[in-house]
Amino acid sequence: MNIQAKKLPKVSLVGAGPGDPELITLKAVKALQSADAVLYDALVNEELVGYAPASAVRLFVGKRAGRHSYRQEEINKLIVEHAYHYGHVVRLKGGDPFIFGRGQEEMDYVKSFGIDVEVIPGISSSHAVPAINNIPLTARGMSDSFWVITGTTSGGKVSNDLYYAAQSNATVIILMGMNKLKEIMGIFSRFQKDETPVAIIQNGSLPNQKMGIGTVSSITSIAREKRLGSPAIIVIGEVVKVAQKEEFMATILEQLEKKS
């Protein structure tokens, strides 16, 4: 690795939030404003990179499931190289760096070079996107807890935790699960959850957001009809009924407006 110090190296692992550029923390904005270099992912809203000084180096490293511009090992090396060469590196990651963001791997690698690392949490899509769409993850009499699970493990298989989650009454939020949707619903069906409500929200918090609501038994066909795909989150549980009521009322109001 060609590393030649010019400024005191420092790395900030920063969560960019779920997509809406206004859903970023003030601390994250301040880190960007002091950045000498910004390495950002595919799921990061590019408006946020504009907070960095005009002189800051900007590098798109484009990590997205199945379509990686750089391997994780390459990104790790780039972070260190840029820190030694430029100084303060902001590693801008979608959502929260420590929720399926491989932030811990990047932190450990950078620290192994003796470089100072700070972690600035971000608003995770796992709870923000349901909230934006009026889906509470916990609600009295409906759900006492929630699980956040990856739909696809590093080995390309569904997580074993889904089998345990499917047996609980908790709300289940699945990230990176659209490629395994049919298989995931099959797991819940195996535990007599066919009629459990399910919501799929694509591009949550963005203007081009799309949502489909159904049940464990129907959501796969609904996703196909609505052409729902990644990036999306899957919410399974009785709490989805809250959004169903909102959707029903919106439809009624729309019909009344047309009649008038």
Q: List the structure tokens of 218.
A: 């129907």
Non-local CB neighbours of 184 within 8 Å, separated by 6+ positions: 151, 158, 162, 174, 177, 234
**Which of residues 67 and 195 earns the better pLDDT score?**
195
Q: Is the pLDDT of residue 242 over 60?
A: yes
Q: How does residue 65 score in pLDDT terms, banded at 50, 70 and 90? A: low
Upstream peptide bond of 130 is cis (omega within 30 degrees of 0): no
| pLDDT digits 0-9 by tens, 150-193 | 998 888 889 999 999 999 999 999 999 999 999 999 999 999 99
Residue 112 burial (10 A CB sphere; 0-12, 13-18, 19+): exposed
Q: List the structure tokens of 23.
A: 């859903």
Q: Which pLDDT score is estimated for 154?
A: 80
Q: Is the pLDDT of residue 68 over 70?
A: no
In contact, 243 and 204? CB cutoff 8 Å? no
* Residues acting as catalytic residues: 41, 63, 176
Q: What is the arithmetic mean of pLDDT over 100-108? A: 95
Q: Which pLDDT score is estimated for 153?
A: 86
Q: How does residue 252 score in pLDDT terms, banded at 50, 70 and 90? A: very low
Q: Which pLDDT score is estimated for 37?
A: 98
The percent of residues in the chain predicted with pLDDT above 70, rounded, is 89
**Which of residues 258 and 219 earns the better pLDDT score?**
219
Q: What is the mean pLDDT of the chain?
A: 91
Q: How does residue 209 score in pLDDT terms, banded at 50, 70 and 90? A: very high
Q: What is the arithmetic mean of pLDDT over 235-243? A: 94
In contact, 10 and 79? CB cutoff 8 Å? no
Q: How does residue 70 score in pLDDT terms, banded at 50, 70 and 90? A: confident
Q: What is the arithmetic mean of pLDDT over 197-216? A: 96
Tokens 């060469």 -> residue:
85
Q: What is the arithmetic mean of pLDDT over 44-70? A: 85
The percent of residues in the chain predicted with pLDDT above 90, rounded, is 82
In contact, 108 and 28? CB cutoff 8 Å? no
